């Protein structure tokens, strides 16, 4: 099982907002929220992206979404992904500007391509 805590050395290299998110998962109120979310098969994620040149962690900027297609992850403008709304399924959300917005999505294959509405698959 993976450890639930980041080492002090690793934490020092994270941006402050990411470091704060890593610490917050251990707060009693966050653990309570996680327990309640698990009753609905939901969890907690830390919306983030990575610098393309350095690989460093960075908070996911407003207006961007972590997008998985063909088993590869990219970080795209919400507007670019919204133009393909029929082919993606939101898998992560955050509270932004007073409401819930997708921050992570997977691209799916059309039900017509897979044999029926009960046979929706991840785009390979």
User: CA 87, CA 110: separation in Å to the nearest integer?
Assistant: 7
Counting residues of the chain whose pLDDT is more than 90, the rounded percentage is 49
CA 118 from chain centre, in angstroms, equals 25
**Whether residue 121 has pLDDT greater than 90:** no
Quick one: pLDDT at residue 80?
Answer: 82
Quick one: pLDDT at residue 3?
Answer: 45
Average pLDDT for 88-96:
90
Quick one: pLDDT at residue 122?
Answer: 57
- Are 120 and 109 contacting, i.e. CB atoms less than 8 angstroms apart? yes
**Whether residue 64 has pLDDT greater than 70:** yes
- Are 9 and 33 contacting, i.e. CB atoms less than 8 angstroms apart? no
Quick one: pLDDT at residue 10?
Answer: 64
**Whether residue 112 has pLDDT greater than 60:** no
User: CA 117, CA 110: separation in Å to the nearest integer?
Assistant: 9
| Nearest C-alpha neighbor of 102 from the set 70, 74, 63 | 63
Burial of 81 (0-12, 13-18, 19+ CB in 10 A): buried
Strand-pairing partners, residue 119, are none
Q: What is the pLDDT of residues 34-61, one digit of tens each?
A: 999 999 999 999 999 998 899 899 999 9
Please tell me the pTM assigned to this model: 0.77
């Amino acid at each position: 099982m993976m450890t639930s805590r980041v080492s002090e050395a690793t934490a020092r290299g994270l941006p402050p907002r990411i470091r704060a998110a890593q610490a917050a998962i251990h707060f009693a109120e966050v653990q309570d929220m996680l327990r309640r979310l698990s009753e609905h098969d939901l969890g907690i994620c830390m919306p983030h992206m990575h610098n393309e040149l350095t690989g460093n962690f960075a908070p996911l900027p407003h207006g961007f979404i972590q997008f998985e297609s063909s088993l590869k992850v990219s970080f795209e403008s919400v507007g670019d992904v919204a133009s393909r709304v029929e082919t993606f399924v939101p898998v992560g959300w955050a509270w932004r500007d007073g409401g819930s917005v997708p921050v992570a999505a997977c691209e799916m294959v059309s039900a017509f391509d897979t044999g029926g509405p009960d046979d929706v698959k991840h785009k390979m």
